[in-house]
Structure 1
Amino acid sequence: MLVQMVHIDVKEGHVDEFIEAFRINYEGSRKEEGNLRFDVLRDPENPHKFTIYEVFRDDAALDVHRNTPHYKECVRRIDPIITGPRTKTYYNAEMADYL
């Protein structure tokens, strides 16, 4: 399993817009066969910082995800309202049990 953590900082005044745009990706991703988990996490100390926790079956499932219409639409909508590039960290899930 492959875990991807995406870190996103949203510009002030755009949090509601970000959440609305990201819901498209969230709902679509959870329906993908290769997506095992998808959580949108918000920093309790800074409401403009988000971390997206995604678990994919493998690298191929992540590649499929990046080519879906919901992912592309989300990126199109959030790119103008984030403070800089999204940063990503990858992990192998060695001891995880996802349905």
Structure 2
Amino acid sequence: MHVTLVHVHVKPESVPAFLAATRLNHEASVREPGNRRFDVLQDPADVTHFILYEAYASAEDAAAHKQTPHYAAWRDTVAEMMARPRQGVPMQGLYPAG
């Protein structure tokens, strides 16, 4: 399983708009054929820090996600909301098995 932990730091005033845009991306992403999980996590100690837990059956499925209209809409919508560039950390998902 191909997993990416995407760390996102949002400007404080942009948190509500970020959440709205991210909900739309989440709802479409979980319907993608290769998607296994697409969790949106918020740090309770820093409400401007989010982690997107993106799990796909394969690296190809993860790459296909980046070609979807909902991803492009999310990326463009939240670009100015970022306090700093988002950071994707690739991980190898072991359990549950892909």
TM-score (normalised: structure 1): 0.95
After TM superposition, give the deviation of residue 95 of structure 1 in Å.
2.2
Partners in 1 of 2:88 and 2:49 — Cα distance? Answer: 14
Written as runs of structure 1 = structure 2, the 5 A alignment for 1:28-39 is 28-39=28-39
1:84 equivalent in alignment to 2:84: yes
Which secondary structure does the structure 2 equivalent of 1:48 belong to? Answer: strand
Q: Which moved more, 1:86-95 or 1:46-55?
A: 86-95
1:69 is matched with 69
Identity of aligned residues (%): 34
Query: RMSD value over aligned CA atoms?
Result: 1.0
Separation in structure 1 between the aligned mates of residue 75 and residue 19 of structure 2, nearest angstrom: 12
> Is 2:55 aligned against 1:26?
no
Q: Which has the higher strand share?
A: 2
Structure 1 residue 97 displacement after superposition: 4.7
- Stretches of structure 1 that go unaligned for 5 or more consecutive residues are none
What one-letter code is carried by the residue in structure 1 that aligns with 2:45?
Answer: E
Alignment partner of 2:47: what SS?
A: coil
Following TM superposition, where does structure 1 have runs of at least 4 consecutive aligned residues deviating by more than 2 angstroms? none
Structure 2-normalised TM-score? Answer: 0.95
Deviations along 1:7-66, one digit per CA (max 9) or x if unpaired, are: 000002110000011112101100000000010000000100000001100011011100
